[in-house]
Amino acid sequence: MKKIILLSAAALAIVGCKAPQLGKASIDKVLKAMTLEEKVHFVIGTGMAGMDDGASATVGATQKIVPGAAGTTYPIERLGIPSIVLADGPAGLRIDPIREGDANTYYCTHFPIGTLLASTWNQELVESVGKAMGEEVHEYGADVYLAPALNIHRNPLNGRNFEYYSEDPVVAGKTAAAYVRGVQSNDVGTSIKHFAYNNQETNRTGNNAVISPRAQREIYLKGFEITVKESDPWTVMSSYNKINGTYTSQSRDLITTVLRDEWGFKGLVMTDWYGGDDGAAQIAAGNDMLQPGTQLQYDQIMAALNAGTLTEEELDVCVRRCLELVARSPKVKKYAYSNKPDLTAHAAVTRQSALEGMVLLENNGVLPLKDVKNVAVFGCTSFDFVAGGTGSGNVNRAYTVSLLDGLKNAGFNVDESMKDACLQHIADEAAAFKASLPDNQLSAFYPVPRPTELIPNPKDLAAMVRANDVAIITFGRNSGEFFDRTSADFVLSAQERKLLDTVTRAFHAVRKKVVVVLNIGGVIETASWKSVPDAILLAWQAGQEGGNSVTDILTGAKSPSGKLPMTFPVNLMDAASSANFPIDATDEVYFMNRREDVGKKDVDVTKYEEGIYVGYRWFDKQNLKVSYPFGYGLSYTTFEYSAPAVANDGKTVTAKVTVKNTGSVAGKEAVQLYVSAPAGTLDKPVKELKAYAKTKELAPGESQELTLTFPTSELASFDEAASAWKVDAGTYTFLFGASSRDIRCTATADAEAAETPTHTVLLMQ
Ligand code: BGC
């Protein structure tokens, strides 16, 4: 008996004992039965299909299970451990739509981009979108959805802002938490990403973000903290960049002390794809799984184990968490996925959700369109709507409804005179752009710039003015992973401005109106031209039903209720972060960054000198004029706020306000609760968002009392000297805002002093 106990796991298999099976035996037993080699294989993925980087003979397993998914875990058949599938996110599932020798298709729904979802200020709605996304993940056979992405919009030019939510951590965290709850209600996992400080694409795999402990805690980590505490995501994805000198995936302070010990995270941490440079350091930090997995990482871990710089116990901690993840996956439960998610139902979900996140920026009464039958459309993007950005956040959808299609679907007579020329123009410019790329560049990743616009000749334009009741001009922008946007992309091009001026002059001359639709993924300059057209609708990149959603707003089928989750500054350089952001480092659009840029400021090292003064916190502090403030958005109706009240019982702050629809059409209103702290020891922002809520659709004359709550501990600021969260005693003012610069009423409540120490200081180096 004694002898049998001493036999190794591998030997047990040889003598014919059935090895413990994951899902049947306890995790402890399965873990004990694993050989050291199996353990090391298990914590790294199976390599990326098509890349010669595999850690084992199973390279390409991704291909076999769900083609086009981003990664798979290492299977160990003898222990009943299947390979589970990890797939992107976040605007819908990203898998290959077509498979060789298979007549079926595997298209997924392209839902609105993250920024649009955040602009809904509607957590229930985001949860319902997450639920629909999760169903596609489940029914297409994936196990973990690599989403949501919630990095802070530190600067308008970050190329991946479209995937992210907001300049404010409460909006980012609440939106992500709702999304996670929705997706995971399908018994599949999520991976909240990119943890953390991944705020630029330029040199993203090498950039060292130098950030004060206070800014880390209050701005860049806060959204993740909220998401972890409010939605229990199955996994977290660490980011590519370094924080204060250490790769995030190799920072035990971040991955273990903050995430697990302080916030109570129980799930698994995986790297971003090929992130970091030392597999052993990642395991030691508690970064449980390395994706997609390389031979080098396998060797690094084995070498560290042999040298004794990494112990098997440390490895086991990660192995256990990998086992726990696989054990809860649909794959282990042998879920018989249908490959037939309800794409029709989800098309309705994306259409409805998109229209609630569109933001009406200007309206001199032209919207909703009345007595309009004939519509002239301009701007090449009108005929080729951008559903979302590029890179891993792209979704292989079956179609995208353009503005042209949307207007036609709603029964308008649309003047198509510009259509053929525009589509040809788009194709020509895209081809020229691709041809201009250096040979060594991966052209498939490039967000092809929007075309330089076509301006109708005076004769054609005159005919269009005569034949139509209104003009709609779409300006489009595309951006994506690997690239930051350029300062040129931030402003309207000369040709776009000329189109706007030419069309507006011609229509206004005969008292006809002009509407601008912005089909963009990030902030652009608006101050210099916003008074030219009669209305501006910020449609964002609204997913595959975009044109229908825009039309629902234009016609007034729904009143707009989206509000900005970020500030639109007057000038790019007004944002404090612009002083330390790689602006124009990629002007000549180049993959990741130009080689000659390495070593330059904000390429290798980015100092977040603005500290906590990101977004409205900065514009408020400086009392700067902005083009559109954080939280701003118009409606077709009006709302009145009354009966503000706030109570603090020491655990929870409870605020109430009554909102009445005082206009003539139905609508929803997003109410923002900001707090203004009493003078204390720390420098505090003028105000900070603490909670928000949206009314139901209120009929004209109808009222609703909204209740907004948050933990009293959230009144704290981070005191670096004490490495503790501190609530100052005193009277706090609570501001109920329609936007950050439109405070409708206030109330006060007192708080007592409180201090919560943290476990680590997250030192600057
Ligand atoms: C991205 C991640 C993505 C991963 C897998 C990386 O390049 O940064 O967001 O989930 O690839 O596709």
What confidence tens digit (pLDDT) does each residue in 297-356 have?
999 999 999 999 999 999 999 999 999 999 999 999 999 999 999 999 999 999 999 999
Could you say which of 253, 272, 384, 719 is catalytic? 272
Nearest atom in ligand 1 to 194's CA: 9
Burial classification of residue 488, based on how many CB atoms lie within 10 Å of its CB (0-12 exposed, 13-18 middle, 19 or more buried): exposed
DSSP secondary structure string for all residues of 601-667: BTTTEEE-TTTT--THHHHHHTT--EEE-TT--B-SS-EEEEEEEEEE-SSEEEEEEEEEE-SSS-B
CA distance 605 to 222: 23
Q: Which residue from 338, 446, 345 is spatially nearest to 111, judged by alpha carbons?
A: 345
Angle at 561 between CA 200 and CA 693, to 5 degrees: 80
Determine the residue type at 217: R
For ligand 1, whether the C-beta of 70 sits within 6 Å is yes
Share the mean pLDDT of the chain: 93
283 CA → ligand 1 middle, Å:
20
> Could you tell me the pLDDT band of residue 435, with boundaries at 50, 70 and 90?
confident
Reduce the DSSP state of residue 31 to 3 states and report it.
helix
CA distance 338 to 354: 27
pLDDT of residue 368: 98
For ligand 1, whether the C-beta of 129 sits within 6 Å is no
Nearest atom in ligand 1 to 147's CA: 10
Most ligand 1 atoms within 8 A of CB, residue of 73, 200, 481, 484 to mutate: 481
> Could you tell me the pLDDT band of residue 6, with boundaries at 50, 70 and 90?
very low
For ligand 1, whether the C-beta of 87 sits within 6 Å is no
Q: In three state form, how does the secondary structure of 605-621 look?
A: EEECCCCCCCCHHHHHH
323 CA → ligand 1 middle, Å:
22
444 CA → ligand 1 middle, Å:
15
pLDDT of residue 441: 62
Nearest CA to ligand 1 atom 5: 70
pLDDT of residue 584: 65
Residue 59 reports pLDDT greater than 90: no
In which residue are the tokens 């799930």 written? 267
> What are 267-308's pLDDT values in tens digits?
999 999 999 999 999 999 999 999 999 999 999 999 999 999
Most ligand 1 atoms within 8 A of CB, residue of 160, 272, 396 to mutate: 272
Best mean pLDDT range from 291-295, 411-415, 449-453, 476-480: 411-415
Nearest atom in ligand 1 to 86's CA: 5
> What are 650-692's pLDDT values in tens digits?
999 999 999 999 999 999 999 999 999 999 989 999 999 999 9
Q: Provide φ and ψ at 10, rounded to 5°.
A: -60, -40
Most ligand 1 atoms within 8 A of CB, residue of 273, 395, 445, 483 to mutate: 273
161 CA → ligand 1 middle, Å:
14
Burial 99-109 (b: 16+ CB within 10 A, else e): eeeeeeebbbb
Nearest CA to ligand 1 atom 8: 272
For ligand 1, whether the C-beta of 146 sits within 6 Å is yes
> What are 66-116's pLDDT values in tens digits?
999 999 999 999 999 999 999 999 999 999 999 999 999 999 999 999 999
Residue 591 reports pLDDT greater than 80: no
Nearest atom in ligand 1 to 393's CA: 9
For ligand 1, whether the C-beta of 88 sits within 6 Å is yes
Look up residue 10 and give its DSSP letter: H
689 CA → ligand 1 middle, Å:
30
207 CA → ligand 1 middle, Å:
17
For ligand 1, whether the C-beta of 273 sits within 6 Å is yes
CA distance 59 to 62: 8
> Could you tell me the pLDDT band of residue 447, with boundaries at 50, 70 and 90?
confident
Q: Are 616 and 219 in contact (CB under 8 A)?
A: no
For ligand 1, whether the C-beta of 392 sits within 6 Å is yes
For ligand 1, whether the C-beta of 204 sits within 6 Å is no
For ligand 1, whether the C-beta of 484 sits within 6 Å is no
- How far does CA 673 lie from the centroid of its chain? 23
Most ligand 1 atoms within 8 A of CB, residue of 88, 194, 203, 235 to mutate: 88
> What are 379-408's pLDDT values in tens digits?
999 999 999 999 999 999 999 999 999 999
236 CA → ligand 1 middle, Å:
12
> What are 227-282's pLDDT values in tens digits?
999 999 999 999 999 999 999 999 999 999 999 999 999 999 999 999 999 999 99
Q: Which residue from 144, 138, 68, 57 is spatially nearest to 100, judged by alpha carbons?
A: 68
Inter-CA distances, 10 with 29, 78, 167, 508, 615, Å: 14, 10, 53, 82, 57
Nearest atom in ligand 1 to 193's CA: 9
Residue 272 annotated to the active site: yes
Four-point Cα dihedral 604, 609, 611, 617, nearest 10: -120
433 CA → ligand 1 middle, Å:
25
> Tokens representing 584?
């124009």
> Tokens representing 348?
């309705």
Nearest CA to ligand 1 atom 4: 273
> Tokens representing 393?
């956040």
Neighbours of 400 (CB within 10 A): 19
Nearest atom in ligand 1 to 240's CA: 8
Q: Are 180 and 89 in contact (CB under 8 A)?
A: no
The whole-model pTM stands at: 0.95
Residue 590 reports pLDDT greater than 80: no
Burial classification of residue 532, based on how many CB atoms lie within 10 Å of its CB (0-12 exposed, 13-18 middle, 19 or more buried): middle
CA distance 689 to 675: 6
Q: Are 242 and 198 in contact (CB under 8 A)?
A: no
214 CA → ligand 1 middle, Å:
28
Q: Provide φ and ψ at 217, rounded to 5°.
A: -65, -50
Q: Are 322 and 268 in contact (CB under 8 A)?
A: yes
272 CA → ligand 1 middle, Å:
6
- What is the mean pLDDT of the segment spanning 491-509? 97
For ligand 1, whether the C-beta of 193 sits within 6 Å is yes
In which residue are the tokens 């993959």 written? 591
For ligand 1, whether the C-beta of 272 sits within 6 Å is yes
For ligand 1, whether the C-beta of 150 sits within 6 Å is no
392 CA → ligand 1 middle, Å:
6
> What are 603-651's pLDDT values in tens digits?
899 999 999 999 999 999 999 999 999 999 999 999 999 999 999 999 9
For ligand 1, whether the C-beta of 674 sits within 6 Å is no
